[in-house]
Each structure stands twice: as C-alpha cells, then as structure tokens.
Amino acid sequence: MFSVKPLKPTFKSYLPPVQTDLKKSPQLTIRKLEAKLLPGEIVVNEANFVRKCIGTESSQDDLWGKLICTNFKVSFITHNSLPQQNFKYVHRLLGEHDVPLACVEQVVTVNDAKGKQKVLGSNKKLKFNPTELILYCKDFRILRFRFDQAGPESAKKVCLAIAHYSQPADPQLLFGFEYAGSRYYNSSGERVNGVDPGGGHQTPMFDRPSDWDREIKRTGASEWRVCSINEGYLVSPSLPECFVVPASLADQDLKQYACSFTGQRIPLWCWSHPNGSALVRMSSISDPQQQRKLDQRISSAITKSHPQRSDVLKSDLDKQLPNIQEVQAALAKLRQVCVIEPFEESEEKWLSSLESSRWMDYVRAFLRHAVEIVYMLEGKHTSVILLEEEDRDLSCVVSCLVQLMLDPHCRSLLGFQGLVQREWVMAGHRFLDRCNHLRKNDKEESPLFLLFLDCVWQLLNQYPSAFEFTETYLTVLSDSVWIPVFSTFLFNCPKQRAEHSRDFARSKSIPLGQEQVLRFPPVWDWSQQFSPKDQTLFNNPLYVGKSATYVQNGAVKTFKRTKQKSYSSTLRGLPLALRNGQLSDLDTLPRRNSLVLRLPTAAEPQGLLLPQLLPSHLTLWRLYFLRWVPEARIPRGGPVTAFHKLSLLVDEIHTLQSHLRHYSTSNSSFTLTSTPSGLPPPAPSPAPSPLPPGPGLALSPPSNTPHRPQSLSRSPPDHHQQRQGRMYFRAPLSTPAGPGASIPTSSSCPAPDYLSSSFPFSPVGNLCRRGLLGTPLSKLLSGARIWLSTETLANETL
C-alpha cells in the first residue's frame, strides 16, 4: 500500500481511452495459448481476449492475449510481439509479461462506463464488471490490462483471484513451498528444470560451523571462536545455529547472558580488521538490572579479543539513523515522483521532489555512518559494537557497508553474496515481514534491503572498478526479493525457515531424509533464474580483482594482493595523496568537528573504499528507479554503451590469452623456457595458466573461491563458462583455426540498437500510467511551462 495515496483522487478526470486504432479482433490462435507452469504451479483463473496496454498515447501497440492467475504469478500469454523490442534477457521462472504475485503491490479495477474504480484486497467483493485492471508492482512497474473484449465474468474472476492470491494468509501459501515440494517429489535428487537441487553455487551459506571457521581464518580473527549453543534454536529464536563470539566467553556464560538481551540475541561477531579491531552487532539489553554488568562483560570480552586490548566503541544506530518506517515512507514518495506522477509535470519540481522524498538523504546517512565506523576500526584501531534494539534491521545495512569499504573480498561476487548471507539472512533480518508478503502489518514493511543495495550502488558508481559485479546484478538481486521461491528472502530467520519447511513437508508427506529440511534454492543459485550467458551480465569488465594485469613501460605485469600483508599495507593509514608528497593533509583537517573529514580519502580499488559523501556527489540510481519510464530511456545511450565497449575489449583480451595459452601448451619446449624462475611449472590441469589470470577477472576459478564448502555438490568449475566467455558482449571473432588466424579487434564495433539506458530492462509496456490515456500527451508537454521572471522583460537584450 502506498502511504501517500497516489491513486485515490482524480477519478472524475479520467477519460475513457479513445478506442480507435485497435488491432483487429483477437485471433483464433488465442485459444491455444497455454500458461507455462513451474513444478507445483497451478492455474487459478484465467480470462481470454484481454488486451495488455503498451503505449500510453494510443492503443495501437497493445497486445491481445490471455490473462492468467496462477498460485505463483500473473501471466499474460500472447502471440503478438512487442514493437521495437529485439532484446530481452530470458527469465527462467517468468515469461516476458509475467509478474510474480508477491511483486504485486496494489490491484486496482476500473469500470469506465460506470465511472468506478476499486482497490482490491484479499477476499474482497467486486460489485462491477471491470473494464480495466491496473497492477502496481513493488519493482516500480505499472501494468494495465483492458477487458473490452473479454467475458465480464471471467474478467472479474481473474481480477479477484489476483487480488486474493497476491495476499496469502500463511507463509506456506507462498509459492516457494509448493515449488520446493514438487521439485522434491519429482526429482528424488535428480535435476529438475535444469536445476541442480544441491545448489550449484559456491556461496558459503554460513549455516554450518566450517563456513564461520573459514571466515575467522580469512580475517585473522584469532581471539574469536565459533559457538554452537543455539543448536536447535534453543537459546535464541532469531539467531542462527552457529555464530562467532569472543574466545574468552564460555558457552555457559553466554547462555546466561542471552536471557537479558532482546530476543535472547547474544552479540554477534561480524568481521575483524587486520589490525585486530572487531565489528560486533548486538541487540539492546532488555533487563535494566543487568545493563551495566552485562555491558561491561561484553565490552571486556571484546577488548580481550583485541591484540592491543583496545577500547570498545558503541554505536547506537537507532539514535542516529532513520527507522524502518521512515525508510518505507521515503521509498513511497520516491515511487510517487519516479513513476506515478506524469513525467512532464514532475520535471519542473524533480529535484526538490527527490529531496523531499528523503531517500537520498537516507542513503547518505547510512553511508556516512558506515564511514564513521570505518574510521574507528581503521584509524583508531577500536572495536565497534553496532547497537540496535532488535539488531535485525539497521545493523544489517551498516555492518555490510563497513565491510564493503574495508574488505576487498566482500567486493567479489562470492564475497558479496557471502556477506549478504551472513549479515542479513543468517543474522535474522525479517525478510518476510519487511517484504510484507502476507500483508499482515503494513507498519513492518520496509525496503531496507533496497536501501542497502542503493548504498552499494553509490560505492560502485564512485569506484567502478572495485566490484566484481555490475549494477545489473544489484538490480536483479533486488528484483529477486519479489520472487518467493528463494530461501534467501522468504523467512524472518533461519529458525522460521526450518520450522516452516518441516511442517510443510509433514503436511504434504514429503520424505525429508537425513537433513530434515525441505531445500529451497538460495537466490545465489543464479542458474534458477538465468542462463549462463545471461548471468555474464553480472560480470564487471572493469573489475580489478585480487590480481590484475596492467601494462607498465611496455611490459605486461600483474599485481597481486597477497593475503594479509599487502592488505594491511594498503591500509597503513597514510592516504595515497600524502604519499605522493604533493598535497598537504591540511585540507583533510576537520572544518567542523566531524570524524568523517579527518579520514584519509583513498581511491584504491583494492584497499579502503571511502565514498564521497557530499550530496552533490551522490546520485539517483537511475537504472533501478527509472528503468521502466519510457520518457527517461536514452536509446542507444547511457552507461551501458561504455560497458558494451569495455566488455568487447575484455573479451578480446581473454581470447588472446587463450591463444597464447594454446601456444604455451602446444609447444612444450616453449612452456619450459618461458617459466620464470621461482614460479612453479604449470600444473597439468586442463587449463594450465602460465599467463596472468586476466584483466582483473577471475579466469581461474579456484583463486576466486576461497570458501568452497567441500560437501556441496556443484557443477564442475567454470570450464563451460570459460569457453563461452565471461563477458556478455563478445568481440567479433573469426574462430581461431590455429596459428595465423585473424586477430579480433573490438574497437570499431558499434553498440547494438537494443542498448539503452534501461538495458537489460525495457520500459515497453511496463509503465502505463493512469490518466495519460485520453489526455493528448502534446497538451501535457506544452502545458508544462516555465516560470517567468520579471527581469526577463526588463533586460531582454536587443
């Protein structure tokens, strides 16, 4: 529900659309239209001869087809194809015109003739026959369907079904359960739908002590240990079964302390700086009697775990950051100005409307807060406790941002996914409540995860080569929240997941075998949603990874970050600018008494990443917020055109590397002579790699996957992927038949026509605002006129 009530008024002003140039009546083929169903998916209701609106100005591009409501999605099936759209990535769970029910924010039915409209809820009645259905989606899309030619009854039924099924009363009615269940039934461990039930991904899930052990080792947090007192969720309902605590605290003490914390949440270790300072998150102490004592104990335990026994700083997030309702209100206002208000009318006040939504303010506030904590950990060598009432919302954002700024590992794809898995999923962020899938309590709804992704995008925007992934990845990740099949976003905490899946399995008599849980795919198994080819849209061609090649004085070199050492050396606290000896650090002295200003600003993709926090340097995440807005689309423009160019070049480099590799393997004498001393001879693996592993791209999988849990079954390392390239856009290439084959060049390849600032998304048919129909667009355009200053007349030059 919008808190701003965007839709209520102006019904009177609504004019029925001009029914002129409609395509000729629906064709026979429509009867053959069948929904594509996933395992466990069933059709609830459907209507034929439905028209999906495409353009806002006229109905000539509209599509005829069948509107179907299943227990998973609203599906529109058509044989028509969209105008001017020759590209779309293929989603494996959703068709081109489909919306998951969980993504539907508001269902509005309209009857033109009677001049009525109604927002439909679950189990509501509808007293008129709808002529139009408008779906407002959580991902900012607005879809419109017309029922002029459809049977009135079936139209009504399908609308009611959509309204009803998009608001399930029980979590187990979310499609993920049926899906996971049927996959289990149908498969008994085999691959279903091309999906490997084991996961097929390499992201550590942090549901077992070994994942945490590795993380402790990776960060060098020697005075911290994995604790399993919450096994069976006996101590705290919202904590995972295992987590990390100061080594000096015994299980017995922890159990005792737990009762005094809100939600029995024992303070959780998040991360340790190479200097030993730790980042810890903690809920409030509910028992005032215990407050001081407990505070002291926890603090002293954390101090003990610090190699220099440094003090501990507490940062009270509730006092310094917006709360979840404020964030929710900000997004509602942002949605209002981005997609609800007519484009031209909102142009004049665009900047101030953006400001008054406060979304950018909040993005800045979270980034700023994270920077201040980075300063404590990095500059002051102080451990920090993030304090939040429940420790399940703001802490997730701040903890992740701090780690992204300090730890380059978190900026790799797997590192990032592990980070989200740890700090959001395992730490018990209430995804179910915050997404409000069940419409139980609107006050609990909050787009905190989107806000976090926006903060990450700001970092990515300022440091474009520091991340292994792209903004497309962030956008798709955010959209995945509304596809209710992933374990990642379905539950409030690990315990809830375990209970629900057990209950569901019991009720459906699904044999669970040893593990006692129904396996939901995590979102990290991207093969669930996209082909390997489409997944390459996630790869950032600019990424300077752990090792990257560059050319210096005509020679190709590789720099490599060896584990701990160079990591800390980049963080010596001396900003690069100072080392260059050019600039004084005077200008970094505080002007106001702010911590932030004293921080060294570094621009090292491998080291500390500090965002520029001036409001002038934070920008709207256009791809996410404006991708559906037809008027905002820049055809064959936008950052993606540079991305395209980069991808071609990187792909070309990969090809060259593999050619060179071909030489070094086919010519053994060559290989021997070319191995420099000190380097072990190439292993007899399928792809020996005496060459640097690529321009920042992890060509050799093992080097990039330090966390592979051994037990998970998975597809063999990326050989397949490697062959088909890690870049979505491929350099034009005549297949290298052997030595002497022509050499590719990417430099002169123009961007394909389908690229636009919305890529890989398309606004076509995804944003049909109400009220534009019937009002000539030209009128709106000419109506938006400019203020006139009086000086204009007086001063006009002649």
Partner 1 sequence: MASASIPAYNSIPLENSSSQNASNESLKMEPLADVALLPGEERVIDKDIIYICPFNGALKGKVFITNFRLYFKSDGDHVVVLDVPLGAISRVEKMGGASSRGENSYGLDITCKDMRNLRFALKQEGHSRRDIFEILFRYAFPLSHGLPLFAYLSQEKFDENGWHVYKPMEEYRRQGLPTDKWRISFINEDYKLCDTYPTILVVPFKATEDDLQKVATFRSRCRIPVLSWINKENQAVIVRCSQPLVGMSGKRNKDDERYLEMIREANGTTKLTIFDARPNVNAVANKATGGGYEGDDAYQNAELVFLDIHNIHVMRESLKKLKDIVYPNVEEAHWLSSLESTHWLEHIKLVLSGAIQVADKVSSGNSVVVHCSDGWDRTAQLTSLAMLMLDSHYRTLRGFQVLLEKEWIGFGHKFASRIGHGDKNHADQDRSPIFLQFIDCVWQMTKQFPTAFEFNERLLMVILDHLYSCRFGTFLYNCENVRDNNLLRTKTVSLWSLVNSDTSSFINPFYTEESSRVLYPVASMRHLELWVTYYIRWNPRIRQQQQSPVEQRYRELLALRDQYLKKLQELQLSDSSPSTHLSNSSTPSAASPTQHITRLQTPF
Q: How far is the CB of 185 from partner 1 (least distance, A)?
A: 48
Report the residue number, 84 or 222, with the smaller CB distance to partner 1: 84
Nearest to 269 by CA among 438, 384, 135, 103: 384
Q: What is residue 17's three-state secondary structure?
A: coil
- Work out which of 32, 125, 127, 785 binds partner 1, going by CB under 8 A: 785
Report the residue number, 301 or 646, with the smaller CB distance to partner 1: 646
Query: From CA 482, how far away is CA 436, in angstroms rounded?
Result: 10
Query: From CA 515, how far away is CA 672, in angstroms rounded?
Result: 50
Report the residue number, 288 or 740, with the smaller CB distance to partner 1: 740
Q: How far is the CB of 455 from partner 1 (least distance, A)?
A: 18
Query: From CA 471, how far away is CA 464, in angstroms rounded?
Result: 10
Stretch that binds partner 1, among 281-289, 291-299, 492-500, 686-694 (CB under 8 A): 686-694
Residues numbered 640-669 forming contacts with partner 1, rule: CB under 8 A: 641-642, 644-646, 649-650, 652-653, 656-657, 659-660, 663-664, 667
Report the residue number, 169 or 672, with the smaller CB distance to partner 1: 672
Query: From CA 192, how far away is CA 313, in angstroms rounded?
Result: 50
Q: How far is the CB of 779 from partner 1 (least distance, A)?
A: 16
Residues numbered 451-480 forming contacts with partner 1, rule: CB under 8 A: 463-465
Stretch that binds partner 1, among 26-34, 284-292, 349-357, 426-434 (CB under 8 A): 349-357
Q: How far is the CB of 363 from partner 1 (least distance, A)?
A: 13
Report the residue number, 462 or 721, with the smaller CB distance to partner 1: 462
- Work out which of 210, 674, 715, 721 binds partner 1, going by CB under 8 A: 674
Q: How far is the CB of 615 from partner 1 (least distance, A)?
A: 4
Tell me, residue by residue from 356 to 395, as one string, x for binding to partner 1 by CB under 8 A and - for no binding. x---x-----------------------------------
Tell me, residue by residue from 6 to 45, as one string, x for binding to partner 1 by CB under 8 A and - for no binding. ----------------------------------------
Query: From CA 366, how far away is CA 451, in angstroms rounded?
Result: 9
Q: How far is the CB of 139 from partner 1 (least distance, A)?
A: 18
Q: Does 786 help bind partner 1 (rule: CB under 8 A)?
A: yes
β-pair partners for 134: 108, 144
Q: Does 304 help bind partner 1 (rule: CB under 8 A)?
A: no
Report the residue number, 170 or 796, with the smaller CB distance to partner 1: 796
Report the residue number, 513 or 637, with the smaller CB distance to partner 1: 637
Query: From CA 7, how far away is CA 525, in angstroms rounded?
Result: 38
- Work out which of 350, 502, 733, 772 binds partner 1, going by CB under 8 A: 350
Q: How far is the CB of 439 from partner 1 (least distance, A)?
A: 32
Sign of the dihedral defined by the CA atoms of residues 340, 343, 348, 351, in that order: positive
Label the pairing between strands 142-146 and 43-52.
antiparallel
Label the pairing between strands 278-283 and 383-388.
parallel
Residues numbered 521-580 forming contacts with partner 1, rule: CB under 8 A: 542, 544, 549-552, 554-561, 566, 569-570, 576-577, 579-580
Sign of the dihedral defined by the CA atoms of residues 615, 362, 483, 206, in that order: positive
Residue 462, token pair as written in the block: 């300022």
Report the residue number, 499 or 604, with the smaller CB distance to partner 1: 604
Q: By rule CB under 8 A, what count of residues binds partner 1?
A: 121
- Work out which of 60, 188, 741, 783 binds partner 1, going by CB under 8 A: 741
CA–chain centroid gap for 147, Å, is 35
DSSP string, 413-473: HHHHHHHHIIIIIITT--HHHHHTTT-S-GGG---HHHHHHHHHHHHHHHSTTS-SB-HHH
Report the residue number, 284 or 675, with the smaller CB distance to partner 1: 675
Q: Does 750 help bind partner 1 (rule: CB under 8 A)?
A: yes
Report the residue number, 529 or 606, with the smaller CB distance to partner 1: 606
**Which whole-number Å values give the CA distances from 279 to 274, 401, 756, 778, in the listed order?**
12, 12, 41, 56
Please, what's the b/e burial string for 432-465 (b: 16 or more CB within 10 A of its CB; e: otherwise)?
bbbbbbbeeeeebbbbbbbbbbbbbbbbbbbbbb
Q: How far is the CB of 445 from partner 1 (least distance, A)?
A: 26
Tell me, residue by residue from 314 to 333, as one string, x for binding to partner 1 by CB under 8 A and - for no binding. --------------------
Q: How far is the CB of 513 from partner 1 (least distance, A)?
A: 45
Report the residue number, 315 or 357, with the smaller CB distance to partner 1: 357
Q: How far is the CB of 582 from partner 1 (least distance, A)?
A: 5
**Residue 579 backbone dihedrals phi, psi, to 5 degrees:** -60, -35
| Residue 208 neighbours by CB distance under 10 Å | 16
β-pair partners for 547: 560
Q: How far is the CB of 622 from partner 1 (least distance, A)?
A: 7
Report the residue number, 415 or 522, with the smaller CB distance to partner 1: 415
Stretch that binds partner 1, among 45-53, 294-302, 467-475, 690-698 (CB under 8 A): 690-698
Sign of the dihedral defined by the CA atoms of residues 314, 318, 322, 327, in that order: positive
Tell me: is residue 229 an annotated ligand-binding position: no
Query: From CA 269, how far away is CA 215, in angstroms rounded?
Result: 11
Report the residue number, 492 or 664, with the smaller CB distance to partner 1: 664
- Work out which of 678, 716, 723, 734 binds partner 1, going by CB under 8 A: 678
Q: How far is the CB of 334 from partner 1 (least distance, A)?
A: 12
Residue 478, token pair as written in the block: 């955010």
Do the beta carbons of residue 76 and residue 162 sit within 8 Å? no
Q: What is the DSSP letter of 59?
A: S
Q: What is residue 201's three-state secondary structure?
A: coil
DSSP string, 645-693: HHHHHHHHHHHHHHHHHHHHHH-HHHHHHHSPTTSPPPPSSSS---S--
Q: How far is the CB of 56 from partner 1 (least distance, A)?
A: 16
Residues numbered 695-724 forming contacts with partner 1, rule: CB under 8 A: 695
Report the residue number, 97 or 368, with the smaller CB distance to partner 1: 368
Residues numbered 582-641 forming contacts with partner 1, rule: CB under 8 A: 582-589, 591, 597, 601-607, 612, 614-617, 619-620, 622, 626, 629, 631-639, 641
Largest CA distance in the chain: 88
DSSP string, 719-777: HHHHHH-SSSS--------STTPPPP--TT-PPPTT-BTTTTS--TTTB--TT-TTS-H
Query: From CA 251, how far away is CA 735, in angstroms rounded?
Result: 62
Contacts of 792 (CB under 8 A, 6+ apart): none
Tell me: is residue 323 an annotated ligand-binding position: yes
Q: Does 735 help bind partner 1 (rule: CB under 8 A)?
A: no
Q: How far is the CB of 648 from partner 1 (least distance, A)?
A: 10
Residues annotated in a binding site for substrate: 323-324
Binding residue numbers: 323-324
